[in-house]
Every structure is written in structure tokens, then in C-alpha cells.
Structure 1
Amino acid sequence: MCAITGILSGEPGAGVSAQLLRRMNDIQAHRGPDEHGLHFEPGIGLGHRRLSIIDLAGGRQPLFNEDESIVVVYNGEIYNFQPLAAELAARGHRFRTHSDTEVIVHAWEEWGERCLERFRGMFAFALWDRPRQTLFLARDRLGIKPLHYAWLADGSLIFASELKALQQHPALPRTLAPEAVEEYFAFGYIPEPRTIYAGVHKLAAGHRLLVRRGGPRPQPRQWWDIPFAPAQATDAAAAGEELLARLREAVRLRLIAEVPLGAFLSGGVDSSAVVAMMAQIMGAEGGGPVNTCSIAFGDPAFNEARYAEQVAQRYGTAHRTEQLDPDRFDLLDTLAALYDEPYADSSALPTYLVCALARQQVTVALSGDGGDENLAGYKRYRWHLDEQRLRALLPLAARRLLFGPLGRAYPPLYSAPRFLRARATFQALARDAVSGYFNIIAVLDDNLRGRLFSSAFERRLDGYHAAEVLHRHAAASPTDHPLSLVQYLDMKTYLVDDILTKVDRASMAHALEVRVPLLDHELVEWMSGLPPELKLQGREGKHLLKSALQPHLPADLLYRPKMGFAVPLAGWFRGPLRERVRSALLGPRLADSGYFDRGFLHHLLDTHDAGRRDYSAALWSLLMFEAFLKREDAAAPARAEAA
């Protein structure tokens, strides 16, 4: 795995600062500690940091075609590079390395932009075609690998794997986007293509950007989407067999490496399935035991370690478990630095630690990410379908008239089980399906955000609402089935901007490559077409996968309640983190930002501290936002000097 960066000057003949590009490149050294390379020619500079995985001796970048008229910098893995290389060689292309990187330049020569359709893997790359004076940026189908970019006032384009590299450029606009702040406190992350900065963007998953020198400023174009095209009818048993066969192939493709390889084993269904397939494949090929690792918590409500041990013993893996130290709060500032913009998934903390643990023995680790989105594993899908069945009884106008007033009048029962929270149910039924799903997934719901934000900041938002993100994706959805639609929404938002972002930054901080078999695009396409009732049957999510895995994993693992990878924040904020969170929330940074109602910040702290309500998600979101502002303040003098 690697890092890329580059500058395309707004003036064709203008030089690119070698010092600046080197600084942008080196700030990403954690992603690629093995080698680095820069390429300059009039009007453009490209940078690369390499983590060597395949063709250790010959895969150095930037990498060129035969006559060096085309150059690429690339982050990722193309798992089908060997058959592609053979096909391209048969068409007359000459290869100088055995790396997957070189396939990209020859595929561009042969197929142009449509080369993307031939790649099976995870990638973000920048390719410069000198004869055509064209820069081509592309990101993989599911957004496993990141790519950020910004147009500067002088017409230059800058891009990089991580936002921190763009932050090195003195001309980067650093104005915070009000819409991004609203989205952050609604989702816990900032959905693509937006970043925290106005005018700075993420290239969205499955999108490409083609920039022609001297041409108009282009917009990104989508080159792939999740089809949700219904598959041919098949019985459940046959579908289960095919699911495992396809998963086994996806795992096999991801075992290609010239460095030590292992897997994360949380004790959940998805990671256990991946480890089971790995062990079977490697055992059949005479390989050694699979290296696995997991994180344990002292709190049994959050601890899945014993289930991971069951799988490790069954498949004879070389397993290691590390207990999360509840006093590792020094990592809070580390997390803020990793993600570059506000990011509020607290499971980033154990993810960072499990990546550090894995890196002690391996350079590549397989994970089980993507199973919940593809096969309907989240509880919220059941809640949404329950609400949809009730919505179907009355038209939207009647529901708004009936349930809207009830939702406002009914007292909140925050500590009650969800099915007893009539206020939340009434509010949900007064909404359309997409707005109702937003209400389910919001980290801070409309009521909390309305109380959290200051009236001055509400005026700056000018009516903008974070649910517009989901409505935009819903308008483009290839499916309107109630379950498939919300799966699609999650894969466009939560999967790419929370789960994959979390794993990418945490793993790359330790120069660890993570591969995700359940996000193999051919497998994803096939799973999207499965009948929804094979995914969510009754109250059981991932029904097909669990049924198919019964010969491979213990029943108490497959059918136990889902725990996730959460951390016990509520207790931490009433105990060892109490003073830190209070100092952060009531300190000068949040007050000076003008975004927040200080009285409501006091309410959040006092109510949570007294145990009257669990506000841990809101407190963590604010804590991480304050940590981001602190980093912005610390960087301000250097920006002013550079300017």
C-alpha cells in the first residue's frame, strides 16, 4: 500500500516547487515507508511513497510506459494483474517489471478511460499522459482507497491520498464549510465528496476525473455503481453454496503477496468467515497457520475475545489477543491527527490498536468489513422495515398530520428500549422513508443538533439539512426495495466514509495493508442481486451467510447478538475521561468557533455525568471536533508564515 500526491500547475510551462511537493509527499511517509519517488516535468509534479507488497525489487514509482510518455503514481492492489499483463503482452505491450502498477499504464494505452472496468481490486491513482497533456485521476468502485483534491485560485489542481498532504500547500483554502459541520454532527463523519474545508473534495468512490491541459475545469464522472439487479431465481441452498464459493475466490485473490500476511479476527461472523476461508485455502496449499489478532475489552458487554478464540482454535491459527488499556487516552490526539478532519467513530481507537498488533507480525491483513452492508447485518435494517410497514398504512400527508403533533407532544423516553420510545416512532412515521432512515442512523438527531448549534450558526446553514446527502443518493439508487435502498445508502455513505476511512487511516498509520474480500466488486454485484429475504429473514440479518457457514463455524458464534467494535464511552466520560471532556467542551475553542450553544454544552455534560441519559456519542463527537480545532490552531502560525 502506498501514498500518492501531485500538483498540476495552472500555467502549462510553470515549474512545480520541488520543496513543496517533497513536503506533501513526505507527510504521508507512514503510508509508504519503504521507498519514495518524485517526477517533474513542465507544469506537473507527481509524488509517491511505497509500502512494498508485490515485486519488491521492481515496483518503484513513479512508473512509466516503454517510451516514458505516460507515468503513474498508484495506491492499491489490482488482484487480476497477472492475466491482464498476459493479455496486454499478447497485444504487443512490453513489461519491465512484475508489478501490478505497470499494468495501469499499458491498460491506459490500450483501453483509455475504460481500463478501469478491467481492474479487479482497490486503488486510487493519478496518470499523466504527456502526448495528450491529460491528467487522469481514478478511485476504485467501493472507495477502499482514498483520494482528495482541490482547485486553487491560480487554476492549479493539487491531489493526495490524505488531506494532510494538501494541508501542506500554502494556497489551500482552509475555510470550514458550514454544511460539513452539520453533516459531521449528524453522521459522525463528513460524507464524500465534501471535506471539512469549502473547496476541497474527496473523489467519490467509483468516480474518475479527467483533466485536459487548457480545457475547461471538469467535474468528476461516475464509472461504476452497485447494480442491485435481481439475480436469476435460485434456491437458498444453492445460493449459499455459491456465496461461499465466491467468497473463497475473493479471499484467494487477496492472498497474493511477497510479505507476511494475516487477518483480523474479531469473533464476529464476517471476520470469522474470512479466517475460515483463509485457513482452508492455505491448508490445502500446504501453507502455515493463519496469523490472526484481536482486541479484548475488560467490560464483558464489549468483549468478543472468547468467540475469536473459538475460531482460532478450530482453525489452528497463530492467534494473539491484546486487551485495550482503558487509560490509553493519549491516543485521542493521535486519532485527530490520523483523520485530518473531524471523525467521530470511537471504534477508531481499538482499530488503531489492532492494526498496531497485526503489524508486529504481518504487512498485509484481511478483514471482514462490508458484510453487514452487503448482507443486511445491522439491526437498523430491521427497525427501518418495521417503520416502513407502518408507513405503508397511510399516505405521507396523513401521517404528517396525525403523527407529527404526537411526536412533538409525547415525552422523550431516552433510556427505554427502542420499541418503547413512542416519541421517536411517531416522529419517524411522520417522515418519508429516506428521512425516516436518516432519523435512525443520525449520531445526533434533529432535536439534539437544533439545541447544540447556536442561532448564529443556524443562520449560516440557511436551512441546509444533512439528510439531503441521503436524498441525493436515493434519487440515483437503482433499487426502490425498502431493504435494498437503505443498503445502497449505507454503501454510499457509512461504508466508505466511516468504516473504510477508519480502517485505511488506522492501518496506514502502521504501514499495514488491509484487504477486504467481502468488497470484491464481483462478489458485491452478485450479492446486491440476491433476493432481500435471503439477506434479512424475519429478525435474522445475514441469513444466507450464516446458514452457509454452519458447517464451518460454531452456532453460538453465528447466531449470537451482534456486538460490533464499540468502546465503553459512557463509563469513560463519567470516570477517567470526565475532566478532559469537560475541559474540552467548555474551553475557548468551541466557544470561539461560534457554532455551539454553550448552555446546551453544560446540559450535555451535567446530564450524562449524573447518569440521567447516555450522551456519550454527542460528547465524543464534540471531543473529536475540539481536537480538530486544536490542530487547526496549532498549524495557523506556519500557514501565515508560508503565505
Structure 2
Amino acid sequence: MSSASGRFVIVFNGEIYNHLELKQKLEEQGEAPVKGWKGHSDTEAMLAAIDAWGVEKALQSAVGMFAFALWDNQENTLVLVRDRVGEKPLYYGWQNGVFLFASELKALRKYPAFAGEVDREAVNLFFHFGYVPAPHSIYNGIFKLRPGCLLEINRNDIAARRLPAPRAYWSLESEALAGWNNPFPGDFQEASEELERLMLRAVKMQSLADVPVGAFLSGGIDSSLLVVLMLRATSAQVTTFSIGMPEERLNEAYYAREVAKHLGTDHVEHMIRPEEALKIIPRIPEIWDEPFADSSQIPTHLVCRLARKQVTVALSGDGGDEFFCGYSQYFLFKRLRSLHLLKRLPWETIFRMSAPFMKSGGSKRRLRNARAVVAAWKQPDGQALCRYWMDKFRQVPLPIEDSVWAPSDREIPVFPDVDATACLWDAAYYLPDDILVKVDRAAMAVSLETRAPFLDHRVVEFSLTLPPDYKLKGNTGKRILREVLYKYVPSPLVNRPKMGFSIPLSRWLKQELRPWAEEILTDRPALEEMGIDANGVKQLWGEHSSGYRDHTERIWIIVSLLLWKRS
């Protein structure tokens, strides 16, 4: 789309939720297009804002999820932009003298100049995390634009085949530091009231659409609060969607059903059959486009497919865990820090003397867990602790040549409170590179648009000003979210241990998926081509398939990488 002045041309992916406000502001300032608006699109409003105010001021005024490319005919400059938290993807880089950019790697692969050489450092990071963190991609020379960043490339850069460094127009790290140094001045009750106001505004804005809108509902804190606010924001009937798991210990469907019944939503539930989940696995490389090993991708895709049968837009609770301290490891981190003096004990001697008495599988597992806890104690700060805990191979030899690794060169602040630091680390890496990748690709594969009100940047910025005990106190996480939710939903309906969104992958790998997994894991030429030690993989698979040790996450990482390579 071209701007009214003819100066700018934009290719846009995403949604500007406050485009009506932008239009109104432009009209009030006398800066709306002279010939009037051509239509009602958010892209036109964003382009007019850029035309009137410039790129960075327009970005500061925009509320939304987006990735776009903007060509400036006057300056002969290309600007690539990604939203603040990283809901929408954007890849870019030089390949054989050609500058390429796209929202999907599969689009880049179609270009004749695309080399497609695998980046070994990215493979190493993938083994540690189960995803490829920005700014890396799986390909040499191709990068992910980081959340909250823009990249400006001019004709001199093009001529020199140069790649300028991106710069931030919004920084999670800066906002976190500002919030820590200038905390919310009110008490807990005032904070909960302000959070409810901000969340209601976000939900109202994101519920506006000219197509049917629904919501994912697990029956947990985040999704239940989201549905409560949707019911307050609209007079229309709200449709909610949930997926049931084949194993009772993983099944959240009952809780979602009870919350939906209490709130009076039009609830749609589907119980996953193992065979339909297994059918998705060969499609994983096509859907996620680069190696991705979060196995909850399978039920996520199924619930998106279920929702798409009735709605075009679905609201999700993504971001609630990272910005309001919801993951169970945060409780553990706090406990570890409170017992940090115990790390001075001679643990290696204790473990060495205990090992001969650990005969059973259960006792060996407890010894491994104890070693993991002691290693966690030894981490110098919350950031190192979080990074250690997220490493899938923290207690197992890596079956590839390892290197000194780090997710990227981001400077994540380290706060005195371990939970605040860990939450920020997850918001910087795990949220945009795992959670949001999982949901965006799963939804886009069925033409469903997902929106996440917790990621409205005003909600995010407010969350970063909250004192840590407003989020986690004792063993209770998401404390302030609970305060808002309990006004509308009885606490017994939603008070339960966090279950996640898991499938019985460990059992499937040993049973239903065993022949398929075994064929992939014993493909020695493919393993060697990717630099993977076939003997190390053989040991991992033997221990897992025999039941000696659970290597589910590690096996899934290797299988996912090889499945992607085959595609």
C-alpha cells in the first residue's frame, strides 16, 4: 500500500488495534490524507501516521502486533520493523548479493539466490533451548529482527552489501529498569484495580473485529481472567475453546468446562485422539518452518484448528506467566536463593559416597535431581540460574560439538529479586522465541488470527513497575491476577497446580511413535551431516526406549531437527 503523499510504500503483517484512535488524532491535527481515507484498514491508518509523524513517533503511538517493511521513495531507504514483544516474525539477510526479507523462511527459500546453509551455532543453541533464539535463524546470514527493533538500510548499504545493526524503538530491558527504579506507588488493592482497568481496555480493543472472535480457555488463571474481561467488554455471546488430553494427569478439559459453565460462555471442547495428534507430526517442519521442539505445538495446533471452525480471531492468555510470575520454577528459584548457604557443603563428596548405594531407577533419579539442585545453587544470579534451568542438556552430554553459547548479546538486567530477573529473562527469550512462535505458526497454518491482551505494551510496562510480592508471595504466583479474577470466579474453580499444555510424548515415543522415531534416530548419514554424534544419540534413545531414563525433551529436539532437515 502507498501513502497518500506517495512517499512511502508498506508491506504489512499484523494488526494495529488503536487504528481508529490514530485516525482521529490525525484528523484533529489536520494531518489526515487530503483526499480522505480510502477505506477502514489499520494499515492505511499506520501509513498515514508515518507520513505525518515519521516512523519512530508513529511506532510510539501504535498499539498492536506487527511486522512490516517500509520503503521511503524520498530517502531511498528500506525500514524493517517488528512489534514490541515479538508476536509477529520478520527474517532478513544477505544471500549471494541479494538482500531478502520475509515473515516466513519458506518465502526466502523460494528465491533463487537463497543459499540455505545451516548455521552450526544456531544448531547448538537449538539443542540447548529447543528453539532458535533471535537474532539467530537456522540459516547462515539470515537473522530474526528482535522484538521492539527496526532496521534501516539505505542505498549505500545496498551498494556495499552491508547489514546495519538494528536499533530499538522500545526496549524490554529499559522498561524493566525504569519499572524497578520507579515502582507503582499504590498499595496492592490499588494496583489490582489499575491492572483490571488496563486489561479491560486491552481486551476491548482486541475484541473489536469485523469477523467472529473467540477465546482459548484452559480453566487456569490467565485464560479465565481473559474470558471474564471479554464478557465485560462485549454484549455478544463469547465462544470459548479447549482441548482435552488422552491422559487424565494432563487433561485440563474438566476445569475449562467448569469455568465456562460458571461464566456462561458457548463452550466448545474436543478430546484429542492419539491418531490425530500423530498425523500432525510429519507436518511440523511445514508449519513451524525452522527447527522447533516445544511438543505443546501439537495440542496448540489442534485447538487452533478447532477454533477456526467457528471464529476467525481468538484471544489467548500468552504473557501472563512471564509478566506476572506464573511458572512453577519461580517458586523453586526463590527457595533455592533462601537456602543458598547450603551450597557450601561438600556436595561432590556426598554424591560420590552416595552413588554406590543408589541401585534402583528411582534412587538414581533422585540423585540426578539433587545434582541439578546443587548446580542451580551455584549459579551466580537469577539470569544464570534461569539460563541453566532452561538448558535441555544441563545434565547430559551434548551429542554435538558444543561451544561457548549465549542466546544473544542482550543486556538483561539482574535484579536483587531472583524472580524478577527470571521473569524478565523468560520474557526476553522464552516468550518471543518459543511461546509466541508456537502460537503464531500453529494459528496461521489454519488462517486463525490470535491476539494476546496481556502483551499490550501498556499492560507489560505496568507489570514491570509492580513490587515482586504483588506477583509471587510464598507459593502463590500471579497473585495480582488472582485478586482480579476472584471477584468474578470462585477461587476453588481455578486454584490448582499449573498443568501446562502437554501431550504424553514420553509414552508415545516408546510405543505409538517408536518405529518412526527409531528410523529417524538411527539414520547415521543424516546425523553426521548435521554434526550430531550418532553413538551419543544411540545411548540417549536406548536409555529412553528401555525406560531407564526419561530423555523425552532431548529426543524430541533431535527428532525435530532431523525431521526439519529431511523436509
Instruction: Compute the TM-score of the two structures, normalised by the length of structure 2.
Output: 0.91
Q: How far has the Cα of 1:104 moved from its partner?
A: 2.0
| Aligned pair partner of 1:612 in 542, 548, 565 | 548
1:145 aligns to what?
A: 88
Whole-angstrom CA distance in 2 between matches of 1:197 and 1:420: 35
Unaligned runs of 5+ in 1: 1-62, 632-643
Whole-angstrom CA distance in 2 between matches of 1:489 and 1:306: 32
Matched, 1:222 2:174: no
- Tell me the alpha carbon deviations over residues 189-244 of structure 1, each in whole angstroms, 9 at most, x when there is no partner: 00001011111100010110011112454111111122121423322222222222
Amino acid aligned to 2:8: I
- Between 1:490-499 and 1:90-99, the stretch displaced more is 90-99
Whole-angstrom CA distance in 2 between matches of 1:601 and 1:271: 39
- Tell me the alpha carbon deviations over residues 372-415 of structure 1, each in whole angstroms, 9 at most, x when there is no partner: 00100001112222222334x49xxx96x955676788659985
1:622 aligns to what?
A: 558
| Aligned pair partner of 2:197 in 229, 234, 245 | 245
Whole-angstrom CA distance in 2 between matches of 1:594 and 1:255: 45
Amino acid aligned to 1:600: G
1:361 aligns to what?
A: 310
Whole-angstrom CA distance in 1 between matches of 2:270 and 2:281: 19
- Between 1:165-174 and 1:410-419, the stretch displaced more is 410-419
Matched, 1:112 2:54: yes
1:84 aligns to what?
A: 22
1:321 aligns to what?
A: 269
Whole-angstrom CA distance in 1 between matches of 2:523 and 2:230: 50
Kept in 1: contact 2:16–2:46 (CA 8 A): no
2:503 aligns to what?
A: 567
Matched, 1:280 2:229: no
In the TM superposition, 1:395-406 aligns within 5 A as none
Q: How far has the Cα of 1:108 moved from its partner?
A: 1.6
Whole-angstrom CA distance in 1 between matches of 2:525 and 2:559: 11
- Between 1:362-371 and 1:585-594, the stretch displaced more is 585-594
- Tell me the alpha carbon deviations over residues 30-88 of structure 1, each in whole angstroms, 9 at most, x when there is no partner: xxxxxxxxxxxxxxxxxxxxxxxxxxxxxxxxx11124331111111111111211222
Whole-angstrom CA distance in 2 between matches of 1:127 and 1:71: 6
- Between 1:589-598 and 1:242-251, the stretch displaced more is 589-598
1:485 aligned counterpart, secondary structure: helix
1:9 aligns to what?
A: none
Matched, 1:587 2:529: no
Kept in 2: contact 1:65–1:102 (CA 8 A): yes
1:448 aligns to what?
A: 396
- Tell me the alpha carbon deviations over residues 586-624 of structure 1, each in whole angstroms, 9 at most, x when there is no partner: 124543325222222222222222222211111111111
Whole-angstrom CA distance in 1 between matches of 2:347 and 2:526: 36
Q: 1:371 and 1:418, CA in 2 relative to 1: closer, same or farther beyond 3 A?
A: farther
Kept in 2: contact 1:173–1:200 (CA 8 A): no
Whole-angstrom CA distance in 1 between matches of 2:352 and 2:138: 33
- Tell me the alpha carbon deviations over residues 403-441 of structure 1, each in whole angstroms, 9 at most, x when there is no partner: 567678865998578798221122222332233322212
1:194 aligns to what?
A: 136
2:384 aligns to what?
A: 435
Kept in 1: contact 2:331–2:475 (CA 8 A): yes
- Between 1:132-141 and 1:409-418, the stretch displaced more is 409-418
Whole-angstrom CA distance in 1 between matches of 2:453 and 2:295: 24
Whole-angstrom CA distance in 2 between matches of 1:165 and 1:406: 55
Q: 1:542 and 1:407, CA in 2 relative to 1: closer, same or farther beyond 3 A?
A: farther
Kept in 2: contact 1:407–1:425 (CA 8 A): no
Whole-angstrom CA distance in 2 between matches of 1:326 and 1:93: 54
Aligned residues: 546
- Tell me the alpha carbon deviations over residues 111-165 of structure 1, each in whole angstroms, 9 at most, x when there is no partner: 22322111111111111111111111100000011111111232x3211111111
Amino acid aligned to 2:238: V
2:149 aligns to what?
A: 207
Kept in 2: contact 1:352–1:507 (CA 8 A): yes
2:435 aligned counterpart, secondary structure: helix
2:75 aligns to what?
A: 132
1:541 aligns to what?
A: 477
2:255 aligns to what?
A: 307
| Aligned pair partner of 1:96 in 38, 42, 47 | 38
Amino acid aligned to 2:520: A
1:258 aligned counterpart, secondary structure: coil
Whole-angstrom CA distance in 1 between matches of 2:165 and 2:366: 43
Kept in 2: contact 1:298–1:324 (CA 8 A): yes
Amino acid aligned to 1:78: I
Matched, 1:271 2:223: yes
2:207 aligned counterpart, secondary structure: coil
1:330 aligned counterpart, secondary structure: helix
Amino acid aligned to 2:404: Y
| Aligned pair partner of 1:521 in 457, 466, 474 | 457
1:637 aligns to what?
A: none
| Aligned pair partner of 2:107 in 140, 154, 165 | 165
Whole-angstrom CA distance in 2 between matches of 1:387 and 1:420: 16
Whole-angstrom CA distance in 1 between matches of 2:351 and 2:424: 28
Unaligned runs of 5+ in 2: none
| Aligned pair partner of 1:464 in 401, 404, 409 | 404
With a CA cutoff of 8 Å and minimum separation of 6, indicate the structure with the bigger relative contact order: 2
* RMSD value, Cα: 2.2
- Between 1:615-624 and 1:89-98, the stretch displaced more is 89-98
Q: How far has the Cα of 1:481 moved from its partner?
A: 3.2
Q: 1:591 and 1:98, CA in 2 relative to 1: closer, same or farther beyond 3 A?
A: closer
Whole-angstrom CA distance in 2 between matches of 1:166 and 1:558: 44
Kept in 2: contact 1:123–1:145 (CA 8 A): yes
Whole-angstrom CA distance in 2 between matches of 1:406 and 1:597: 32
Q: 1:217 and 1:200, CA in 2 relative to 1: closer, same or farther beyond 3 A?
A: closer
Kept in 2: contact 1:70–1:105 (CA 8 A): yes
1:376 aligns to what?
A: 325
- Between 1:492-501 and 1:145-154, the stretch displaced more is 145-154
Amino acid aligned to 1:128: W
1:623 aligned counterpart, secondary structure: helix
Instruction: Compute the TM-score of the two structures, normalised by the length of structure 1.
Output: 0.81
Kept in 2: contact 1:403–1:427 (CA 8 A): no
1:509 aligns to what?
A: 445
Q: How far has the Cα of 1:292 moved from its partner?
A: 1.1
2:123 aligns to what?
A: 181
Whole-angstrom CA distance in 2 between matches of 1:607 and 1:338: 30
- Between 1:322-331 and 1:402-411, the stretch displaced more is 402-411
Amino acid aligned to 1:263: A
Kept in 2: contact 1:589–1:629 (CA 8 A): no
